[in-house]
Structure 1
Amino acid sequence: MPLIDIPLEELKRYEGRNPRPADFDDYWDRALAEMRLDDANVELIPSEFQVPFADCYDLYFTGVRGARIHVKYVKPKELSKPHPAVIQFHGYSGNSGDWSEKLVYAALGFSVFAMDCRGQGGNSTDSGGVKGNTFQGHIIRGLDDEPDHLLFRHIFLDAAQLASIVMNLPEVDPDRVAATGWSQGGALTIACAALEPRIKRLAPVYPFLSDYKRVWEMDLAENAYEELRTYFRKFDPQHKREKEIFTKLGYIDIQHLSSRIQGEVLMGTGLMDTICPPSTQFAAYNKINSPKRLEIFPDFGHENLPGLNDIILQFLKEI
């Protein structure tokens, strides 16, 4: 088998390299408390896009620090009792995608919620206001400020807040809510289920935002992780603050959140992934303590994994 990382048997035991901050649990407990303080001010606006068997809405809510978050919401018609829901998260810099992409789950009787990440390619806002560098990327946004101002902290909270909103809708069965996404979407799926552990099933695919120090050591701080290299080159060219920087990034490292997950997990990974290296994905997967299974594609990288969307649909429809 070709290798760009350590052998599979070692991947199955790999526990990650990036430091975990000593106050990690307090950090996220404080973050969740902040999230619950303010009124989400949920708003539903009928979309111009409509289909005969479902109603389509633009849903908005207010996240932490006042950002207004946009979500595409597709609700099946003529369901007389609370039904399951699936929350979808998109890749880095992208958006919630086309309405038509949500219709398969709606046809199966799921309400579908697809979130636009704040400050990326969709219709959510970014409230900003951090000190220091904001150039080229969201991983480093807030890195020169207090840890509570890291942008991905806020995006992780948006994911958890959306799950809570979904579970409180009268048409949704709160015990049958799932989450899924690829790359950044996979990371947000893990963060969502960790911070809102009532998520029943989750299907992350080659998750991003894991084990930053390992990415750096593999000399793969490029493409999606290029901002790490750029940050060091511009702000710490001799790596005098390396330990401090990677420790602060540990607050938004999904491997350190994974143990909080209580739902059943199906994860997909390609062993030739040079965007989100396999070891970084396994660092998160290996810390999950709930029921889990891994779909491995030995010859594939950060690309379409043939048949995996069908496997995920079969997994989630049994919720």
Structure 2
Amino acid sequence: MFIDLPLDELRRYRPSVPEPPGFDAFWQRTLTETRTHDLDARFTATDAGLALLDTYDVEFAGFGGHPIRGWFLAPRGAAGPLPCVVQYLGYGGGRAHPHDWLLWPCAGLPTLVMDARGQSGPNRPGDTPDPVGAAHPGVPGKMTQGLLDPETYYYRRLFTDAVRAVEAAGVHPVVDPARIVVSGRSQGGACALAVAGLVPEVAGALIDVPFLTDVRRALEITKEEPYGELVRYFAGERLHIDRALATLDHVDGLNFAVRAQAPALFDTSLHDPITPPSTGFAAYHHYAGPKEQRVWRFNGHEGGGGHQRAEQLRFVRELFG
């Protein structure tokens, strides 16, 4: 069943932006502090059994100088500078294996896949620990880790890692740093949206069913994971709700959308109970740069699947001619 507003109302849905005081200063200071650490981007060639690709095990310094892992794949022997797609991961999984990321290098574009610190899963194992301990008790998962203070919140670290991934991709000799597109689905879509708002030099953004947008509404209409982690936390920590919501405002995609200028392609599904469609429409409507949206009427959190990938190939091809 449809779990949100009717489509005609979704096309008009434009909620207020929950911008906290000092939002720009908070993120400027975060990135400035992070950049005091040498990026130290390392690309170690590895044999992944992919005869037509050059494959590298990547490591660079993310938030706090912490080492972040990833993969870098490019067409074998490609001569740069070429456009590059930086990819971010959905919740609860890691960078997995090089052969899981063939779309963009098969289309002729190198790609950097950023591991998500502290996350792993049975089908998408990760390799990057999160050395920052919990600042206060929370429920299992990342959603409540450090939630009572923007300084300690998990997504401050993850979004900063995502910015540094763009910087790492840009130093590889085959990549044109002026033609980098960020891409992700769900949590990865949240990362792509955040980077589009934080890095004016980004050339494009592919934002699929983005998580962590219009968060206050999402918490009112869904208990699906991972928003369910917040719902369970609030059920017990009744006196900390307003403080926690103020932290979430610092990572809400709406605040990044109004600052983003790169051309973007959005993916929204009307049957999505995990990132309710109204939250995706809110991000799309507030996105300040040139934008397109594909709406999938009878799909859930999987979004447009292969059809959306085809749209993304078209979008990037047109973006770079």
User: Could you tell me the TM-score, scaled by structure 1's length?
Assistant: 0.92
Any idea what SS the aligned residue of 1:257 has?
helix
The correspondence of residues 306-317 of structure 1 with structure 2, limited to 5 A, is 306=305, 307-317=307-317
Any idea what SS the aligned residue of 1:194 has?
helix
Tell which deviates more after alignment, 130-139 or 60-69.
130-139
Within 2, Cα distance between the matches of 1:30 and 1:80?
36
- Tell me which residue corresponds to 1:267: 266
Cα offset, 1:152, TM superposition: 0.3
Q: Count matched residues.
A: 313
Label 1:104 to 1:6 Cα distance change in 2 as closer, same or farther (>3 A). closer
Q: 1:221-268 CA distances to partner (integer Å, 9 max, x unpaired)?
A: 3322111112112322xxx44333212210011111112212111111
Q: 1:245-292 CA distances to partner (integer Å, 9 max, x unpaired)?
A: 212210011111112212111111101111110111122111111110
Counterpart of 1:315 in structure 2: which amino acid?
F
Label 1:154 to 1:43 Cα distance change in 2 as closer, same or farther (>3 A). same
Are the aligned partners of 1:18 and 1:212 in contact in 2 as well (CA < 8 Å)? Answer: no
- Tell me which residue corresponds to 1:8: 7
Label 1:31 to 1:271 Cα distance change in 2 as closer, same or farther (>3 A). same
Q: 1:190-240 CA distances to partner (integer Å, 9 max, x unpaired)?
A: 11222222121211110011122112221x13322111112112322xxx4
The reply to whether residue 159 of structure 1 matches residue 162 of structure 2 is yes
Any idea what SS the aligned residue of 1:84 has?
strand
Within 2, Cα distance between the matches of 1:15 and 1:139?
25
Within 2, Cα distance between the matches of 1:54 and 1:285?
35
- Tell me which residue corresponds to 2:111: 112
Within 1, Cα distance between the matches of 2:56 and 2:312?
25
The reply to whether residue 187 of structure 1 matches residue 186 of structure 2 is no
Label 1:113 to 1:233 Cα distance change in 2 as closer, same or farther (>3 A). same
The reply to whether residue 127 of structure 1 matches residue 126 of structure 2 is no
- Tell me which residue corresponds to 1:227: 229
Tell which deviates more after alignment, 98-107 or 252-261.
98-107
- Tell me which residue corresponds to 2:153: 150
- Tell me which residue corresponds to 2:123: none
The reply to whether residue 213 of structure 1 matches residue 216 of structure 2 is yes
Counterpart of 2:173 in structure 1: which amino acid?
P
Label 1:18 to 1:130 Cα distance change in 2 as closer, same or farther (>3 A). farther
Gaps of 5+ in 1: none
The correspondence of residues 67-106 of structure 1 with structure 2, limited to 5 A, is 67-106=66-105
Within 1, Cα distance between the matches of 2:231 and 2:103?
40
Counterpart of 2:47 in structure 1: which amino acid?
E
Tell which deviates more after alignment, 201-210 or 17-26.
17-26
- Tell me which residue corresponds to 2:280: 281
Cα offset, 1:107, TM superposition: 2.7
Any idea what SS the aligned residue of 1:147 has?
coil
Any idea what SS the aligned residue of 1:158 has?
helix
Cα offset, 1:78, TM superposition: 2.7
Gaps of 5+ in 2: 121-125
Are the aligned partners of 2:17 and 2:255 in contact in 1 as well (CA < 8 Å)? Answer: no
Are the aligned partners of 2:58 and 2:72 in contact in 1 as well (CA < 8 Å)? Answer: yes
Cα offset, 1:172, TM superposition: 0.8
Within 1, Cα distance between the matches of 2:46 and 2:79?
23
Within 2, Cα distance between the matches of 1:38 and 1:74?
25
Q: CA RMSD in A?
A: 1.8
Percent identity (aligned): 33
Any idea what SS the aligned residue of 2:74 has?
strand
- Tell me which residue corresponds to 2:33: 34
Are the aligned partners of 1:50 and 1:56 in contact in 2 as well (CA < 8 Å)? Answer: no
Within 1, Cα distance between the matches of 2:182 and 2:104?
12
The reply to whether residue 140 of structure 1 matches residue 139 of structure 2 is no
Any idea what SS the aligned residue of 1:260 has?
coil
Counterpart of 1:143 in structure 2: which amino acid?
L
